[in-house]
Amino acid sequence: MVAGELVQEHLRADTGAPDDITVGRKTSEPEGAAEPYADATYGAAPTHGAGEVDSTDPALEQEQEQEVVPPDEREAMLPNGGGGGGGGEEEGKKLETRLYCRRFAVLTVFSLYSLVNAFQWIQYSIITNVFTRYYGVSNEDVNWLSIVYMVAYVPLIFPATWLLDRRGLRLTALLGSGLNCAGALLKCASVSPELFGVTVSAQVVCSVAQVFILGLPSRIASVWFGPREVSTACATAVLGNQLGTAIGFLLPPVLVPNTPEDDDLTGHNISIMFYGTAAVSTALFILTVIVIKDRPPLPPSQAQAVLPDTPPEDYSYKQSIINLMKNKAFVLLLISYGIMTGSFYSVSTLLNQMIIACYEELNAGRIGLTLVVAGMVGSILCGLWLDHTKTYKMTTLIVYSLSFLGMLVFTFTLNLDDIYLVFFTAGVLGFFMTGYLPLGFEFGVEITYPESEGTSSGLLNAFAQIFGIIFTLIQGKLTTDYNPVAGNLFLCAWIFLGILLTGRL
């Protein structure tokens, strides 16, 4: 949908990278030396007690040096360390790897149909006034066309993750692209004032499709791309979805301008948007059938060559969730992350209703585009800062506080009749509010280790959807019954609570 769901994929992408996966290495060293070697591989080298052998011994110095220096990536990924321990000539051979040009086609097709799905999420909300008049429904009814994406995510995220782990990339991709296409085609049959129920059904289908889309960037990157390409590939796949949201803010107001005096013209314009989306979605589904496979004939890296195709049989999603919910710091992060991300979803959904109260609806799309683009820059810069400083709590708290200030400033500049100021404050709000998203995920991974980052990020996203549903409904009601300032102040109060919770982490 938006950055909130997809930031996790950049984190998960590295799970397929050689530097993050280490397979146990059999050696001919004595049993007592095996444990220090493992410590050196997975974390800091252990400190030696006073009763241990003098570290000035030349033989021991050489052994310690071998422990601290990480082994060659290809050897570390292979059983028996590429032949160490006398496993025989056959075991010592390195597994064959290869990069295929097809990987770029897989990445391109996925990024494009992910883009179209994100476009369909926001295409109604950004021109709410047009659809309310055309279908004769309320603002709340149109808001539900965006909220349904959040509602579908909560119960379906873990079944979708299970399907990806157990059945593979191709089936999951076909479901995502196929449902996205089916929803787009169904919308073409809903262009009539009395067929609002049909367009709701179509949007429900699209919302189910996005559950099978959001989890794929990391899988595509890790099973198709080489060690030096995996992060870039994942970021590209994530970028497709974010660009879809940006285009969803920008294009519908242009394709479907407000023509209150002519319902036939409005219907014609809506048809152009729906038929165009359906044509692109159908072409991308056909390309998905042709291009996307579970994995290449040969793995792209030694890491992928030795990874199992499915999770261990003894892995339990249920037990992992129970462990996470017993972690007090993670529970506080769940709530604070849900508040911030839910606020972003609510602002995105209701942006049209906020802007047209003071400015023309075309500016709503442009301001939404500014919000998303500034947010993408903020996500990158905040992630780089955290990688450099590792100050998880302090950085998270500062960005959360700046997001609160950005929301306050945005709220009180809406009525100043200065569109350029609104563009600037919306950019600041998007920069910090979206910039918080990678911080929240990385903080979550930090405080929940060694639990699976897939489970922790799934819970974070689920709470974000729940808060997004609640906030959108309440803020939408306040905006409709009173004014946009009332709805925004409601969010400000909750974001301030999020600051307090973050401070207690």
Question: Which of 111, 462, 118 has the alpha carbon at shortest distance from 317?
Answer: 462
Average pLDDT of every residue of the chain: 80
Note the pLDDT tens digit of each residue in 225-245.
888 887 778 778 878 888 899
* 297 upstream amide cis, omega within 30 of 0: no
pLDDT over threshold 50, residue 95:
yes
> Can you give the C-alpha Rg of the chain in angstroms?
25
The pTM of the whole model exceeds 0.85 = no
Among residues of the chain, what percentage have pLDDT more than 70? 78
Distance CA 484, CA 179 (A): 35
Q: How far apart are the first and last CA of the chain?
A: 28
Distance CA 303, CA 79 (A): 11
Question: Which of 260, 502, 274 has the alpha carbon at shortest distance from 394?
Answer: 502
Distance CA 83, CA 87 (A): 6
Distance CA 441, CA 4 (A): 9
Greater confidence (392 vs 56) lies with 392
Provide mean pLDDT across the span 381-405: 86
Distance CA 134, CA 260 (A): 8
Task: Please tell me the predicted confidence (pLDDT) of residue 316.
Answer: 65
99-300 folds as Growth Hormone; Chain: A; (1.20.1250)
Greater confidence (73 vs 266) lies with 266
Non-local CB neighbours of 127 within 8 Å, separated by 6+ positions: 252, 253, 256, 258, 352, 361
Question: On the CB side of 102, how many CA atoms lie within 13 Å of its CA?
Answer: 18
Phi, psi (degrees; rounded to nearest 5) at 121: -65, -45
Task: Please tell me the predicted confidence (pLDDT) of residue 17.
Answer: 43
319-504 folds as Growth Hormone; Chain: A; (1.20.1250)
Mapped onto helix, strand or coil, the DSSP state of residue 78 is coil
Structure token digits, residue 52: 């241990």
pLDDT over threshold 60, residue 44:
no
For residue 360, the one-letter residue type is E
List the chain domain ranges: 99-300, 319-504
Provide mean pLDDT across the span 285-305: 89
For residue 166, the one-letter residue type is R
Q: Kindly write down the DSSP assignment for every residue of 22-62, as one continuous string.
A: ------SS-HHHHHHHHHHHHSSPPPPPTTS--TT-HHHHH
Greater confidence (465 vs 451) lies with 465
Task: Please tell me the predicted confidence (pLDDT) of residue 312.
Answer: 59
pLDDT over threshold 60, residue 85:
no
Note the pLDDT tens digit of each residue in 305-316.
776 655 555 556
Structure token digits, residue 123: 């295409």
List C-alpha distances in Å: 409 to 63, 180, 303, 501: 60, 37, 48, 22
Distance CA 307, CA 23 (A): 9
Question: Which of 237, 235, 291 has the alpha carbon at shortest distance from 105?
Answer: 291
99-300 matches 319-504 in fold:
yes
Indicate the DSSP class of residue 257: -
Among 4-18, 169-183, 366-380, 481-495, the least confident range: 4-18
Task: Please tell me the predicted confidence (pLDDT) of residue 375.
Answer: 87
Note the pLDDT tens digit of each residue in 126-169.
999 999 999 999 999 999 999 999 999 989 988 888 888 788 89
Distance CA 460, CA 95 (A): 37
Torsion of CA 216, 217, 220, 222, to 10 degrees: -120
Greater confidence (470 vs 23) lies with 470
The label of the residue with tokens 């995220």 reads 157
CB atoms within 10 A of CB 417: 10
Provide mean pLDDT across the span 200-228: 90
Greater confidence (112 vs 355) lies with 112
Question: Which of 414, 468, 494 has the alpha carbon at shortest distance from 143?
Answer: 468
